[in-house]
Chain A
Amino acid sequence: MNWTEFTQAAPELAQLFKERLDATGLALIGTIRKDGTPRISPLEADLFEDHLLLGMMWQSKKALDLLRDPRCLVHSVVSDKDGSEGEVKLGGRCVDVMDKGLRERSAQQTFDTTGWRPEEPYHLFWLEIDDAAYIKYSPNGDQTVKTWRAGSSQQSRLRKWTGSRLED
């Protein structure tokens, strides 16, 4: 589903991802290389109209990965060791944006907010979201975990740290 549908299906997770994205404008994306091994790359991401849009430089490695295998994982950036800000993951597939109108409107939006306009050719994908997870670590070792998968409702649980492992 697209971002708007995701915000309806799992509003709390969508809000948590949006907060993390708004803080930096940046995310990490995991893709699959030609040999089947994983790759991680930083990328700029924007929420625009109904989509989480991922813009990439023309012929960049991550874009070529996605054209070969659209499965990916978008991860919020984490900038401190204790994980107090929480981390959000969105799993799904990247869809190549072919709609010229959407490309043009999002380029205009980028120009309006940054003063810089991406010039064609460049890659633009929207994320088709299949699952999402949020994990936040407390100082005592407990984890707050929220998960969601398309077709189910969001699950929340506290995993308590026993000193050597977590218990649901």
Chain B
Amino acid sequence: MNWTEFNKAAPDLACRGRDLFERVGVLFVGTLRKDGSPRVSGCEFFFFEDDLYLGMMWQSHKALDLLRDPRCYIQSAVIDKNVTGGELKLRGRAVEVSDSDTSERYGRALKEATGWRPEGPFHLFAMDIDGAAFIEYQQNGDQLVIDWRSGRPSRERLRRWTGSGVVDDQK
């Protein structure tokens, strides 16, 4: 589903996710290399109309990965060891935007928002979201976890730190 639909299905996750992404202004995308091994890349993003868009340089490795296999994973930037503010993950597919009208509207909106737009060819993908999770680490080692997958309501739980691991403590 697109970002607007995700925002309706799991508003708490969508809201936290957007804040975390925009805090640093860059996110990480996990893609599959030709041999099936993982690649992790920093990536520019932009929320526009109903979608979370990923803009990529023409013929970049990550874009070529996604054209071959759109399955990907988005991770918010993590700035310190305590993962202050938590982390947000999205699972899904990056769908190539091949419609030139959408690319043009995206370029104009990006220029308006940031003062910059890509010139010449670039790759543009819209996220089709299947699942999401938010994790926040508390000082005592407990983890607050909110997870969601398409077709189900989101679920919040506390994973309690036992001294050597975590156990579920359903809320």
Cβ of B11 under 8 Å from chain A:
no
Task: Give the complex CA separation of A41 and B119 in angstroms.
Answer: 33
Residues in A whose Cβ lies below 8 Å from that of B80: 24, 26
Which listed residue, A26, A36, A87, touches B78 by the CB 8 Å rule? A26
B115: interface (CB < 8 Å): no
Query: Are A81 and B24 closer than 8 Å at their CB atoms?
Result: yes
Tell me which residues across on chain A come within 8 A of B57, comparing CB atoms.
Answer: 165-166
**Which residue in chain A gives the minimum CB-CB distance to B31?**
A38
Stretch binding the partner chain, chosen from B1-9, B99-107, B163-171: B163-171
- Cα separation A47 to B28 with both chains bound (whole Å): 24
Indicate the size class of the contact surface on chain B. 35 or more
Which of B32, B72, B83, B118 makes the CB contact (< 8 A) with A164? B118
The A-contacting residues of B in range 39-86, CB under 8 angstroms, are 39-42, 44, 57-58, 71-75, 77-81, 83
Q: Specify which of B38, B91, B119 lies most central, judged by the most chain A CB atoms within 10 Å of its CB.
A: B38
Q: How far is the CB of B39 from chain A (nearest CB, A)?
A: 6
Q: Is B36 an interface residue (CB 8 A)?
A: yes
Residue of B nearest to A162 (CB): B120
Inter-subunit contact A79/B164 (CB<8 Å): no
Residue from the list A29, A38, A39, A83 in contact with B42, Cβ < 8 A: A83
Q: How far is the CA of A41 from the CA of B118 in the complex (A)?
A: 30
CB neighbors of B among A54-110 (8 A): 57-59, 71-73, 75, 77-81, 83, 87, 89, 91
Are A75 and B40 interface neighbours, CB within 8 A?
Answer: yes
Check: B98 CB closer than 8 A to any chain A CB. Answer: no
CB of A40 within 8 A of chain B? yes
Where the two chains meet, the residues of B that have a C-beta atom closer than 8 Å to any C-beta of A are: 24-26, 28, 30-32, 36-42, 44, 57-58, 71-75, 77-81, 83, 87, 89, 91, 118-121, 163-166
Q: Can you list 5 A-B pairs, Cβ within 8 angstroms, ordered by A?
A: A32-B38, A37-B32, A37-B71, A40-B40, A71-B36
**Which 4 residue pairs spanning A and B have beta carbons closest together?**
A164-B120, A38-B30, A30-B38, A81-B25
A residues bordering B, Cβ < 8 Å? 24-26, 28-32, 36-42, 44, 57-59, 71-73, 75, 77-81, 83, 87, 89, 91, 118-122, 163-166
